[in-house]
Structure 1
Amino acid sequence: MSPVCEATPAAEITLPDHEHSARRARAFLSEAYCALHHARVLDEAQLLVSELVTNAVRHGGPPVRVRVDCDGSAGLQVAVSDGSRKPPVRRTAAPEAEGGRGVALVDIISDRWGVEHAESGKTVWFVLS
């Protein structure tokens, strides 16, 4: 992302490898997002960060990190990193299934998303405008 928001600095948190980390990630996002530029997308961002953190805890492993960046009015970028190099998998979940929709939701709701691999794991990021 290009220009950096002058109203809200980037923020990052490391979460425990625990089932309640998705709740903490949503709370972190509501504290750290840029209210000046992104109040309209907070609900969607919280849903998507919750899905990605849940996937990181279930399938990725520690360390689980969440980073939020504001690029002015151009977009809110949220990134979730974990300790696994395995890429996320988009699944087709049955209507009665309790899970398996996270990557599909990120794909449908976000303006764009992607995966960056590193020696120590991966980062899945999304942007909401």
Structure 2
Amino acid sequence: MAGRGASEQPQRMDTTAGGRPPGSIEHQTATALDLVGDPSAGEVRLSSRPESAATARRLVIEVLRGWALSQFEDKAELLVSELVGNAVRHTGARTFGLCVLRRRGWIRVEVRDPSRALPCLLPVCSLDISGRGLYLVDRLADRWGVDLLPRGKSTWFELRVPDR
């Protein structure tokens, strides 16, 4: 049996995702889908922590790229951040769910949490330091709303996209 000499180093396996360099946003999104799950295939559960907003953004971006809808990344990224931020700050839940759905002419992003308390769209003044989340959703999404579920609610937004 041949042994490794003292000066030989173990060879490292290539850990890039899809040939993307580690640390790149593309590597992070592919890893997020691999590790967390695909929100277009079913609800993905995330911890109710502020850093989960970054994971939710990466998941939504990867799904949109898979659907060749990269032109909607910026808007969807901002909007999902706002919905996740509300779920984390206002529900007291340990986890929340994320779903990304596509139907003819629309994409829909849902953030599901166990609270049945409805979010409120408040008037926004230029000097306000908080409370702009739903205002942004209202202004940027083509449609948005809240559906009460048997255990909690789903807060969602939709963007009009080209038909397949």
Same fold (TM over 0.5): yes
Q: Is the 8 A contact 1:14 1:66 kept in 2?
A: yes
Please name the residue that 1:71 is paired with: 103
| Correspondent of 1:126 among 157, 160, 163 | 157
Identity across the alignment (%): 39
Change in CA separation of 1:9 and 1:24 when aligned onto 2, cut-off 3 Å: closer
Larger radius of gyration: 2
Shift of 1:38: 2.2
Residues 72-117 of structure 1: per-residue CA shift (max 9 Å, x gap):
4x01110011111011111223423332111111111111111100
SS of equivalent to 2:136: helix
User: Paired residues, what number?
Assistant: 121
Q: Is the 8 A contact 2:56 2:80 kept in 1?
A: yes
- Give structure 1 regions of 4+ aligned residues with deviation exceeding 4 angstroms: none
Root-mean-square deviation over aligned CA pairs:
2.0
Q: Unaligned 5+ residue runs, structure 1?
A: 1-7
Aligned partners of 2:39, 2:46: CA distance in 1, in Å? 20
* TM-score, with structure 1 as normaliser: 0.83
* TM-score, with structure 2 as normaliser: 0.67
**Structure ranking higher on relative contact order (CA contacts 8 Å, 6+ apart):** 1
Please name the residue that 1:51 is paired with: 82
Q: For residues 2-81 of structure 1, what are the structure 2 equivalents within 5 Å? A: 10-11=40-41, 12-62=43-93, 63-72=95-104, 74-81=105-112
SS of equivalent to 1:88: coil
Please name the residue that 1:106 is paired with: 137
Letter in 1 for 2:99: R
| Correspondent of 1:117 among 148, 157, 160 | 148
SS of equivalent to 1:33: helix
Shift of 1:35: 4.2
